[in-house]
Structure 1
Amino acid sequence: MEKSKNQLITEKSLSLLQQNQYTSYVDSKLTKTEMKKWIEGFFAVKVRGISSSRVANRKRRGKLSLNSTSKKKMIARLRANYLTPLFIN
């Protein structure tokens, strides 16, 4: 199962990098505990906490705005002195 789909690069996510927090879209069926174990095993880091939220996909068809399946966004807060190789502060 693919855990992390892609890194989220926005102005807010880039500012969170300075606080050692990494933002990405993940598989919508994952729990916080599963994601924490995967990050700690894959990147060899210690995770302090994880926040998650669902983000609705919006498709426009004519003048109507339709909601399709939602995505899940995860913010992983790492402990001090840990970095992932995806982004180096």
Structure 2
Amino acid sequence: MDGIKYAVFTEKSIRLLGNNQYTSNVESGSTRTEIKHWVELFFGVKVIAMNSHRLPGKGNSHRLPGKGRRMGPIMGHTMHYKRMIITLQPGYSIPPLIEKRT
């Protein structure tokens, strides 16, 4: 379970819980198949779909992890994590993971 960092609780992610979809941030190097395997093995659920996206990098702070990327005159950073939306089969659910406010 090292690949999954924490659950995300935003307005959208709370709305998705009604559709049996769970949102969490995962390590940027993790693949969909790895995360699916970890979730099914650890929580004993059946995953039917996974969607992922990388969040845009943040400003010029040198304290932020992630690789530096230049977009014209602006220097940014890639994020060190990506967000996964995991859809479970009806009848399955997972308990909330560790909450981190975003």
Shared fold per TM-score greater than 0.5 = yes
Q: What is the TM-score of this pair, normalised by structure 1?
A: 0.85
Moved over 6 A (4+): none
- Provide the aligned C-alpha RMSD in A: 1.9
Q: Are 2:32 and 1:7 equivalent residues in the alignment?
A: no
Unmatched tracts of structure 2, length 5 or more: 62-72, 98-102
Please give the alpha-carbon distance, in whole angstroms, between the structure 2 residues aligned to 1:29 and 1:15: 27
Please give the alpha-carbon distance, in whole angstroms, between the structure 2 residues aligned to 1:12 and 1:60: 28
Give the % identical residues.
Answer: 41
Paired residues for 1:1-80 under 5 Å: 2-60=2-60, 66-70=75-79, 71-80=81-90
11 and 65 in structure 1: CA distance in 2 versus 1, 3 angstrom threshold: farther
SS at match of 1:84: coil
Q: How many residues end up aligned between the 2 structures?
A: 85
- Report the structure, 1 or 2, having the larger strand content: 1
Q: What is the TM-score of this pair, normalised by structure 2?
A: 0.75
Higher relative contact order (Cα pairs below 8 Å, separated by 6+ residues):
2
SS at match of 1:18: helix
Unmatched tracts of structure 1, length 5 or more: none
Q: C-alpha displacement at 1:3, in angstroms?
A: 1.3
